[in-house]
Amino acid sequence: MSSSAKGKAPANGPATTPYELPWVEKYRPQTLDDVVGNCDTIERLKVIAKDGNCPHVIISGLPGIGKTTSIHCLAHQLLGDAYKEGVLELNASDERGIDVVRNKIKAFAQKKVTLPPGRHKIVILDEADSMTAGAQQALRRTMEIFSNTTRFCLACNMSSKIIEPIQSRCAILRYAKLRDTEILKRLLEICEMEKVEYNDDGLTALIFTCEGDMRQAINNLQSTHSGFGFVSGENVFKVCDQPHPVIVQSIIRACIEGDINGAMGKLNELWEQGYSAVDIVVTIFRVVKTFDELPEYTKLEYIKEIGFTHMRILEGVGTVIQLGGLLARLCKLNMKPELFHI
């Protein structure tokens, strides 16, 4: 590469088709104000960012809801220009055995760095649940000895994989799944900035398929936009490759009416499209959960039956007969008991 090309966007084509960043990275929030959802927890982080006395923190929660992003924003807001010298970031792709804790982290903690007054160096341990228990043990004393100069921020999916002694040294912040309205707001902003053409059905489908995971929602938005040029419900389901909830709704409706033949017909349609039993049963669950036409009691019974079937499928019996059995039971649940007198 010639030296003049360094640092620019890769020149992979004519100037009219610039290299496109994944939108998840392009629209990664830069300050805590831009991180959506989990308002109370983010408010706490904002106070820490303002006052400067950052405790050791663990942020835990499901993938794609802003854990890594918030820690980076926090570190940037705390340290400003000193970010480069003041932060050591290690994630699961780095070697993080006992040796690294003993050498690299300790050496960083001992290093003298000029920071804004009242601020501390920060060690970011992303995906900390993948650190071995031994390495976590080695952290215990280090965290204490150097706590006057260095603070630790950990992010993980499961806080139970962090050993108890480390949990007890940290403030644990739990992030919940993002709400539909929060995801919708962000998607609309991105649609606006990227001039994406969409309809309401498309956005509903994105929110339905992402299940509270912002990263997935944004990725699916970008894939649908670049693949089809228009974000409609149908296109989103083509990209996500999940059974279409409208078909699943019609299955449930047939079950409510006791029409097993109708329900089985639709089920076979999905089966022939190649969806696995797990895909289908999970979609049935998600559709039933939000299905307004079902009375509360029936909904609960339906969910119970779906749960049992899900369990059997996970045990290995993922056949169409298993799903057929589920539909038969759902049909029966809504039939009048008198019909069963022999």
Judged by the rule CB under 6 A, the positions of this chain that interact with ligand ATP are: 24-25, 27-29, 35-37, 63-69, 155, 157, 178, 186, 214-215, 218
CB of 92 to ligand ATP, least distance (A): 9
Residue ranges of alpha helices (H) inside 232-276 are: 233-240, 245-256, 260-272
Which CB, 128 or 251, lies closer to Mg ion? Answer: 128
Per DSSP (E only), the strands in the chain are 57-60, 87-90, 121-125, 150-156, 171-174
Which CB, 157 or 250, lies closer to Mg ion? Answer: 157
CB of 159 to Mg ion, least distance (A): 14
Should residue 216 be labelled a site residue for Mg ion when binding is judged by CB under 5 A? no
CB of 7 to ligand ATP, least distance (A): 22
Which CB, 63 or 116, lies closer to ligand ATP? Answer: 63
CB of 112 to ligand ATP, least distance (A): 31
Q: How far are the Cα atoms of 52, 56, 177, 209 from residue 63, in angstroms, in the given order?
A: 27, 21, 9, 14
Residue 106, contacted partner among ligand ATP, Mg ion, none, CB below 5-8 A by kind: none
CA distance 181 to 38: 12
Binder of Mg ion out of 60, 68, 235, 242 (CB under 5 A): 68
CA distance 35 to 16: 32
Which CB, 155 or 247, lies closer to ligand ATP? Answer: 155
List Cβ neighbours of 134 (8 Å cut-off, separation of 6 or more).
97, 98
Site stretch for Mg ion (CB under 5 A), options 68-76, 79-87, 141-149, 257-265: 68-76
List Cβ neighbours of 282 (8 Å cut-off, separation of 6 or more).
310
CB of 35 to ligand ATP, least distance (A): 4
Which CB, 68 or 209, lies closer to Mg ion? Answer: 68
Which CB, 120 or 177, lies closer to ligand ATP? Answer: 177
Any idea which residue has 């759902």 for tokens? Answer: 330
CA distance 148 to 58: 18
CB of 201 to ligand ATP, least distance (A): 23
Nearest to 67 by CA among 22, 124, 151: 124
Which CB, 72 or 266, lies closer to ligand ATP? Answer: 72
List Cβ neighbours of 72 (8 Å cut-off, separation of 6 or more).
124
Nearest to 280 by CA among 322, 239, 233: 322
CB of 126 to Mg ion, least distance (A): 5
Residue 153, CA atoms < 13 Å, CB-side half-sphere: 26
Residue 291, contacted partner among Mg ion, ligand ATP, none, CB below 5-8 A by kind: none
The residues binding Mg ion (CB under 5 A) are 68
